[in-house]
Structure 1
Amino acid sequence: MHTNLFTSGARVILTGIASVLLWTACRKDNKTSPDNPPKGDTIAAKPASAYEDSLKYLMYQIMQVTYADGGRNAALGLPTYYWYSQVPALNPLDSKYANADSLLSAMKTYAINPATTQPFDHYSFLDRNGVLTNKLMNGISSQAVAATNSGDFGFDYLFARDNEQKLHIFVVYVDKNSPAGQAGIARGWEIVSVNGNSNFSFTQSFLQSLYSAVFNSPSVTLGLKPSTSSAATVTKTLTTATYNINPVVFDTTFIVTDVNHIQKKVGYFSMYTFSSVINSNGQDTYTKTVLDQLFSKFASQGINNLIVDFRYNGGGAVATTQYLCNAIAPSAAVGQVMYTTLYNDKLMAHISDVKLTTTTNFATTTGKLKLDNVFFITSGSTASASELTLNSLKPYMPVQLVGSRTYGKPVGFIDFNISVFDPSHKQVYLADLYAINFETKNAKGEGGYYTGIPVDAAASDFIDASWGDTQNDENLKKIVNYLTTGNYNTSARIAAPELNSNLMKVDLSQKPAHGFNGMVDYERSRLIRAGR
């Protein structure tokens, strides 16, 4: 029997440095808050980049050899990478790998999806500053954008084309608690200038400058048009801040009367991320508070249909997937399988020893809502934990997708925090490793959607249609048609108004390379850290 496999004192010797691999899922504690931002680990005087060989070696050991003891006893054979068997033996210290990222990129090329002839893995990555872990696991925005600044602006942008195919830049969603949210900026506001520059050339250089100004700068001044029908422009100067993430950007309820004069109560909410409902210390997060309030309201109002808008949701913590599934599923699902988790063959052979779960069931609290239907609005940006949510509900209730095919990521991560001790015994944080560790399937064994999940009704995403706009949001318009007539297309019996011809359609081919697509089992990471 392999016991105590998740040890925190495993030592390896690398180029004269005594290194300690720490199996911690997160470096923050319960004192982390917007008023007390994370300070990070004690960093030795020697820069972390000086330990790049250590990072390469340890990353390779975790993924390909064994994670039980830092590599001293490879005979245990417990690699964590889901596709480890398709990666040949590599020398992680080979000079052809300039850094750990280039080594990881090489490792990702070997497992090929026969359906696409492309690598399965276009997901794994290294988080070198721990920002993602804090954001998703603790629900705290703490992105380091400059030496003396932290946090972010709390919004994202996308591109859209007008009737003449001219590109425009729009705010796509805003976190209510963020600097952008507090400044009153909202979805559908057009960005017409950035730091005084209104000459949008849309060249590669311009796009890089725009990305840097929004995601890698301590402050930005934006010229914005709140409405495409108005020439009025407002100027907003934003400074990054640390804040509690509110993943629900909008919610509402409304009533639809069908052709038989039956009223249907509909709940709608849009959610942009799966920040965890449980933090690194096992405590409830602000995200859980927000979701508790949301579903309590829906239950008190007696909704019988639910619309979940995941069109920009790239996923996050599976703990939040479990929360949402329990909140939405019918009472018949209580105690039944929500989803199953598969690991590589070596981990599966020692599954009880390593204390990894393979089955997640619905909770006894499931079934508070009495829903006839649940609709998910999706797009190519709907990924992983979002996909897991809707896929897990399919065996138990009518689930319908409206919009466009999802991203396609039925696999996920267990976060491994990699740190070393320098010769003076100071801890040096190197990175959080997010390499694919598992695959999920629903209770019917359905999964493997690497090319995305198709929709039941196609709809365009008009970026300047406000949240909850049942007249100008084509996704909502089609769902209302379905609830009214039983058909997604406008019925001849219902004189529905046409969409505003001035609306601008999202151009995802111009999507900025920002955000996270994935699902992370942070609860498993937390338990590993606690040595359970």
Structure 2
Amino acid sequence: MKKSFFFRNALCYVILGFVLAAGAGCKKNHNNNPSSGSNNISEEDSLKYYIYHYMLVAFDDQAMAYYHDSLPLYLWYRQVPTSTINPFDDVKYPKAEDLLNTIISYPINPQTGGKIDRYSFLDRQGAVSGLIQGGVTGDMGFQPAYAYDNNNQLHLVVLYVYKNSSAGQQGVQRGWEITAINGNTNISDNNLVINALYNSPSAQFTFKKPDGSSVTLTIQSTQYQVNPVLFDTVYTLSNGKKVGYFVFNQFVSIYDSNNQPTETKNELDAVFKMFADSGVTTVIMDERYNGGGAVQTAEYIDNKLAPAAANGKAMYSYVYNDRLTAHATDLQLPITINYQNTGSFNLEHVFFIVSHNTVSASELTINNLKPYMDVQLVGDTTYGKPVGFFGWPIQYDSAGQQIHAADLYSVNFQTKNAAGYGDYFTGMVPNKLEYDYIGYNWGDPNDPNLQDVFNYLTTGSYRTTSTARLASQAQQYRVIQGSLPLKRFEGMVDYRAAGLFKPYLR
């Protein structure tokens, strides 16, 4: 095994006598904890070291020695001036997040001249893997946002609810307005809302329902199984066309870490069976608030929606940095993913309802289908994230006990569809721009976004007067984008890829 010796000073970034043993095959079994070395390196410094080394030097020293080449994980490592970064500079980088934020501040988007990496982050709690791989999260289970009525008066309205959560179990619905929190009616106070939602074990919310009645509920922050299919149905239009519609809110993996089908797969299978039994010729996938998740789930959905002619052809390809690209085959990294078992439906169109909160794996699902079928977007411009993560655990041994420090989500790859397109860093522009009015519950055929699709399917074109028509309806609330943070994972992650790295020199 290759040993890397580092001296802590301004010129070298090092730990004396530290042996980096990033276990073969991506098993992070570090035989020595830098925090226990002779230089008394802290656990925080250990974490900073691993971030620096994995992103900018090598994911595995054995593999690096084998190839006589550096093997950094970070997609844009070449744009980072490593000689100016000392990961042990506690003044510049008191926390590991400070170092990470410095590293990701350097890569520039050549299209815009601005910072390109607004995605990489550190997960110290392992919450992302728990959600995406296990389908489990912990919160109150509903997400509100601020919205304006037709008189530009401010309201706080529920965007979505997970049925297994405390809010879902008590019947909270999309479109309910929050009029008081713990008895306080000053709902325009952001701190009041955020503290109640994200920083409290429980809180009391007063809701006004669409029928004008009110209810006060005590909602608790609990652990629950996420059900990403929030709604599904089949519509029959005036011209007899059958349209399948479903709301998908998070790309939870279809298989867990033991390769067993998850509840997400069961839900998707039930939806697609209903569509098949109903003979749908159009599918609408509502991804308005979907922050992404597992690429395998995106692949699964695309295989269901794609035409038979796509079978065996390229779905999308991975783009890595030059070092990983040079050794991708030997490392067994995925390069091109092909369609398989397509043709479940003979679709004339597939529509996606999107917004600026449509991120990453959601966008991947759309981009993959575009070379093979008519894909239409209704709503607002998407977030713009054609890159993803391996989800890299940082672990080491201390006195015979394995310590899980954090999971590193640094950008490791970009994706491109079969036509070679994948540079939507500024988002995907919809075919029909439409506001997100949240006075309607899921599936209500009067939802303006659904009305746009229905009009297209019955007349061949989108409406041009919908906004003016809806402005007269006082009960409608138009979402203010970004008015509250959405508590969710944003990105696409391929845990499978990290597990495929080939072991070396065992």
Question: Is contact 1:251–1:269 with CA below 8 Å preserved after alignment?
Answer: yes
Deviates more, 1:10-19 or 1:371-380: 10-19
1:251 to 218, 232, 243: 232
Whether 2:144 is the aligned partner of 1:157: answer yes
> Aligned to 1:112, what secondary structure does the other structure show?
coil
| Alpha-carbon separation, structure 1, partners of 2:142 and 2:454 | 28
- Which runs of structure 2 are paired with 1:466-485 in the superposition (5 Å)? 466-471=441-446, 473-485=447-459
The CA distance in 1 between the partners of 2:195 and 2:465, in whole Å, is 47
Change in Cα spacing, 1:388 to 1:10, as seen in structure 2 (3 Å) is farther
TM-superposed deviation, 1:94: 1.6
Name the SS of the counterpart of 1:436 in structure 2: coil
1:294 aligned to 2:294?
no
Asked if the contact 1:485/1:491 (under 8 Å) is kept, the reply is no
Aligned to 1:79: 72
The runs of 5 or more residues in structure 2 that have no matched partner are 7-13, 29-35
Partner of residue 349, structure 2: 373
> Match of 1:63?
55
| Identical residues among aligned pairs (%) | 44
Q: Secondary structure at the match of 2:300?
A: helix
Which whole-Å CA distance do the structure 1 matches of 2:25 and 2:216 have between them? 43
Moved more, 217-226 or 310-319: 217-226
**RMSD (Å), alpha carbons:** 3.0
TM-score of the two chains, using structure 2 as the length reference: 0.89
Which deviates further from its counterpart, 454-463 or 9-18? Answer: 9-18
Amino acid at match of 1:242: Q
Which residue number corresponds to residue 38 of structure 1? none
Which residue does the alignment assign to 1:318?
295
- Contact 1:280/1:526 (<8 A) preserved: no
- Aligned counterpart in structure 2 of residue 410 of structure 1, from 378, 383, 386: 386
TM superposition shift of 1:491: 9.4
Tell me the secondary structure at the aligned position of residue 325 of structure 1.
helix
Partner residue in 2 for 1:148: none
Q: Any gaps of 5 or more consecutive residues in structure 1?
A: 28-45, 142-150
Contact 2:5-2:15 within 8 A present in 1 as well: no
Q: Work out the CA distance in 2 between the residues paired with 1:246 and 1:518.
A: 18
Counterpart-to-counterpart distance in 2, 1:233 and 1:353: 62
**For 1:270, which of 221, 241, 247 is the aligned residue?**
247
2:475 alignment partner AA: N
Residue type of the alignment partner of 1:378:
V
State the alpha-carbon separation in 2 of the partners of residues 337 and 294 from structure 1: 25
2:133 touches 2:257 (CA, 8 Å); kept in 1? yes
- Pair 1:450-2:425 in alignment: yes
**Separation (CA, whole Å) in 2 of partners of 1:26 and 1:246:** 31
Change (3 A) 1:391 1:138: same
* Aligned counterpart, 1:390: 366
Pair 1:108–1:404, CA change in 2 (3 A): same
DSSP 3-state at the match of 1:460: coil
SS at match of 2:131: helix
Distance in 1 of aligned mates of 2:194 and 2:389? 27
Cα distance in 2 for partners of 1:237, 1:19 equals 50
Q: Deviations over 1:413-458 (max 9, x none)?
A: 0010001222x22222111000000001110111100000111111
Q: How far 1:118 moved relative to its partner? A: 1.2
Q: Does 1:118 align with 2:114?
A: yes
Q: Which residue type is aligned with residue 93 of structure 1?
A: F
Alpha carbons 1:306, 1:371 under 8 Å: kept: yes
Distance 1:240 1:22 in 2: 37
Q: Equivalent residue for 1:145?
A: none
- Aligned partners of 2:93, 2:203: CA distance in 1, in Å? 36
State yes or no: 1:105 paired with 2:97.
no
Q: Would the alpha carbon gap of residues 481 and 221 (structure 1) be closer, same or farther in structure 2, given more than 3 Å must change?
A: same
1:126-205 equivalences under 5 Å are: 126-141=122-137, 151-202=138-189
Q: The residue matched to 1:502 in structure 2 has which SS?
A: coil
1:130–1:233 distance in 2 versus 1, CA, 3 Å: same
| Secondary structure in 2 matching 1:249 | strand
Cα offset for 1:71?
A: 9.9
Name the amino acid aligned to 1:505.
R
Instruction: Give 1:60 shift.
Output: 0.8
d(CA) in 2 for partners of 1:519 and 1:86? 22
Aligned to 2:86: 91
In structure 2, the partner of 1:459 is 434
Rounded Cα–Cα distance in structure 2 between residues aligned with 1:324 and 1:358: 20
Matched, 1:51 2:34: no
The 2-side partners of 1:264 and 1:418 are apart by 52
1:252 maps to amino acid: T
Structure 2 CA distance for aligned equivalents of residues 306 and 489 of structure 1: 19
Q: Which amino acid aligns with 2:391?
A: D
Give distance in 2, aligned partners of 1:10 and 1:271.
46
Q: Structure 2 CA distance, aligned partners of 1:526 and 1:294?
A: 30
Cα deviation, residue 214, structure 1: 1.0
Q: Which residue of 2 aligns with 1:220?
A: 203
Q: Does the residue aligned with 1:368 lie in a helix, a strand or coil?
A: coil
C-alpha separation between the residues in 2 aligned to 1:58 and 1:381?
31
1 CA distance for matches of 2:62 and 2:158?
Answer: 45
CA distance in 2, matches of 1:88, 1:442: 31
1:220 partner SS: strand
* Aligned AA (1:212): N
Counterpart Cα distance in 1 of 2:358 and 2:248: 11
Residue 150 of structure 2 contacts residue 473 of structure 2 at CA under 8 Å; is this kept in 1?
no
User: Following the alignment from structure 1 to structure 2, what is the Cα–Cα distance between the partners of residues 199 and 518?
Assistant: 34
What SS does structure 2 have at the residue aligned with 1:257?
Answer: coil
